[in-house]
Structure 1
Amino acid sequence: MRLCASFAGGSNFSSTAANSGLNDILNSIGAAKRFVLQPCNVNNASAITIKGIRYIFYDPDFMNSVSSHSNWGNTFILAHEVGHHINGHTMDAVLLVNDIVDSGSLYDKRIQELEADEFAGFVIAKLGGPLSACTNVITRISDNTNDELSSHPSRDKRLAAVNRGYNKAENQGLISIEKSKNAISEEYFYAGLEASDAENYQLAIEKYTISLSVEPSSSAYNNRALSYLEIGNYQLALTDVNNAIEKKPEDDQFYSNKARILMNMATEPTDPEMVQAIEMLSIAINKNPSKGHNYIERGMCKWRSLGWNLACPDFKSASILGEELPDFVVERMDELPCD
C-alpha cells in the first residue's frame, strides 16, 4: 500500500511471527481471518478499514519497543487491534496516538480503547499468557494524566480494563489451570523488567535467571546481559548477549547491545574490543539501517580508535535519519565537515 510504502525491512518482529500471532488470536475466539496485516513505519499499531477491507498496520520496531521483545507482549498489541475490528470500531482506532480531535468524539474513542484493552486481556488469558505481558505494555504506553482531552484513557482505566478481560476468561474457566512453561517464564521475565526499570539490577538478574531456567529465551538473555552491564560484570554480560544472538541472530538490537558491552570492556582506543564493537554495530546497521543511534555509536567508536575522518560519515548518516547529535559532535562537524 502506498500509505506504508516507506516501510523498510530489517525489523525483529517478522511478518511470519505477526501472522502466527494473529492466527492464535483468531483461533482462540473461533473467528475467521478477515484482516490484512501490513507492516508500516508509523511508530504505532492501528486498526483501519479502507474501502471495506480491514487492515491492521503494525510497526515492528514500535511493537518490540513497548513489548520488550516479548512474544506475549506483541500478541497483546495485535489482540488490541483485533479487538477494535471485532467490536466494530472503524478507521483511526489506534493503540497510541498524540492527535487531538474534537472533544465530542473523544469520549467515544476512550470507550473504544477500553473495549479493545478488555478484549486483548481476555485473549491473552485464553491463550495461557501472563497478565504481566498485558500490564507491561499498557504501563509503557500510557500515563495517569487527565484524559479528558485525549483519545486514550488514563493508565489506571486501561489496566482495569485489561484485568477485567483477563479475569473474565479465568472466571469462565476458559484457560487451563496449569500454566505453560512459556507463560511462567514470561512472568519472571516481566518481574525482571520491572526490577530493571527500578534500577534494582541484582534483583533483575535473579528474576531473569529464573525465567531462563524455566524456558530459555533470547529476550531474557539479552535483558540479563544489560543488567550485568549495569553492575560492571562485563564478562557475564558478554556471555549472555552471545547466547541471545545465538538464539535469535536476526535481531539487530542484540548486536548493538553487544557493542555497548565491548565498548565498556575496552580500556584503550586501540583495544581489540573497540574493533569488535565497530564490527557489531556494522552488523546491526546492515540488519536495520533505519536506526540512527547505531550510526552515532559507531561514529563514536571510530572517532576514538580510527580518527574523525572515518567517524564523520556515520554522524552525517544519523543526522539524515533525524537522530539528534550530541552538541560536541555538531560543533566538530561545523569545524571539520565530512569529505
Structure 2
Amino acid sequence: MLVLLLNGGVSIAQSVEACGYYGHNAKFSKEQICPQLGFESSEDAEKSIRKILNQLGLQMNFLVVQCSNINNAFAVNLEGDIGHIRYIIYDEGFLERIGMKSQTDWASVSILAHEIGHHLNAHTLDGVGSRPEKELDADEFSGFALNRLGATLEEAQAAMQNAGGEKASKTHPARSDRLNAIAHGWTNAASLSKKYIDLSRNLDYTSYAKMWFEKARAIRGVSEGDHINRVAYYGKATEYKPDYTAAYRNKAKYLNELGLYKKALIEANSAISLDKNYWNAYTEKARAYFGMEDYQEAVKYYSIAIENREPQRAGDYAARAFSYLAMGDRTNAIADLEEALNLRPQWSIIQQKLTELKR
C-alpha cells in the first residue's frame, strides 16, 4: 500500500506546517522534511502504530515514513497528485537516541502515539502546525494509548522526560505541563480498564488548567460560537482543576449568555460551594434565575451580591431593578435605578428607564 501510493506520485508543497514532537522546527520546507519522502518505513514503527490503533478499533489510514537526520517526529498532511495524504514522519535515529536515554522501548512508542494523536484530533487539517493546546491533546492521547498497551506511568512519560523542552514556547508547552497531560491520559485509561490507581493527589494540573482558562479569556468575539468556545474552554479548565472557582463562574456567565440557565445555575453553585464570598458567582446565579423567570430568587441573589460586594456595582442594582419590575414592584425598581445612577451617573439607558417610571 505504501509503495503504491508513493509511486503514484506525491508532489510536496514548498512549505508546510507540521505538528512536531520537539518544541522547535514547527515549520518545515520540503527539503527539511525528507528529500526522497520516505521510500523506507521501519517495520517496527508500523507494528507499534498498528498496536496503538488496535486498542481503539481503528485502521491505519496514514503513511509511516522514516526520514534520516531530521532529529524529530511529526504528523503532517501533504498534497500529492492523488489528493492530500496523511503522514507520520520520524527519524529512526532520533527514536533510538530517546530510547537509550530513557532506558525503555516504550519511549519510541509514546512518540509515535503522540503523532497519531495529532491526526486523530484533526490537528493537521488547519495548516497552522504545532500549538500548545494541540500538543497537550496529543500528549494526553499518548498517555492513554500507552496505558492501554500496558506501560506504567513512568514508562509513558519516559520520552518526554528526555525530549521535552523545560520552558514553554509559542508552539509547545513546558515539559511539566506535557508530563501532566500524559499522566491525565494514562489515568483516564486506567480508570476505564478498572485498574485505576489514585495518582491525582500527586499531580498538579494547575498550569494546564490555566492555559485553557486564558485561552477562553483571549476570545474577543460575542457571537454564539464564541460563547460556546468559551464554555468549552472554561469546562476544560475545571476538568483539570476541579477547584478553579473563577472558571466555574465564567462558565456560568457565558451559559447565561447562551440562554442555558439551568446549566449556568449549576456552574454558579459550584463556584459558590468553593468560595461563599465570591459575589460575582451570586450575580450569575441571579441572572440564571431571572432567565428562568423566577424573579423572586433573582432578587434574593442580587441582594446578596449588593449587600456584600465592595465596592458595590451599578449593574447589580440595575439588574435587581428589572427583577422588581418583572414582579410588578415599581417602588423598589425606582429605588434601585436611582442607586445605579448614583454609581454610574452617565448611564443613559438607566436614566431613560428611570424617567419613564417616574412619569
TM bracket (short chain): 0.3 to 0.5
Structure 2 length normalisation: TM-score? 0.41
Task: Work out which of the two has the higher radius of gyration on C-alpha atoms and give 1 or 2.
Answer: 2
TM-score (norm 1): 0.43
**Higher normalized contact order (CA 8 Å, seq sep 6+, divided by chain length):** 1
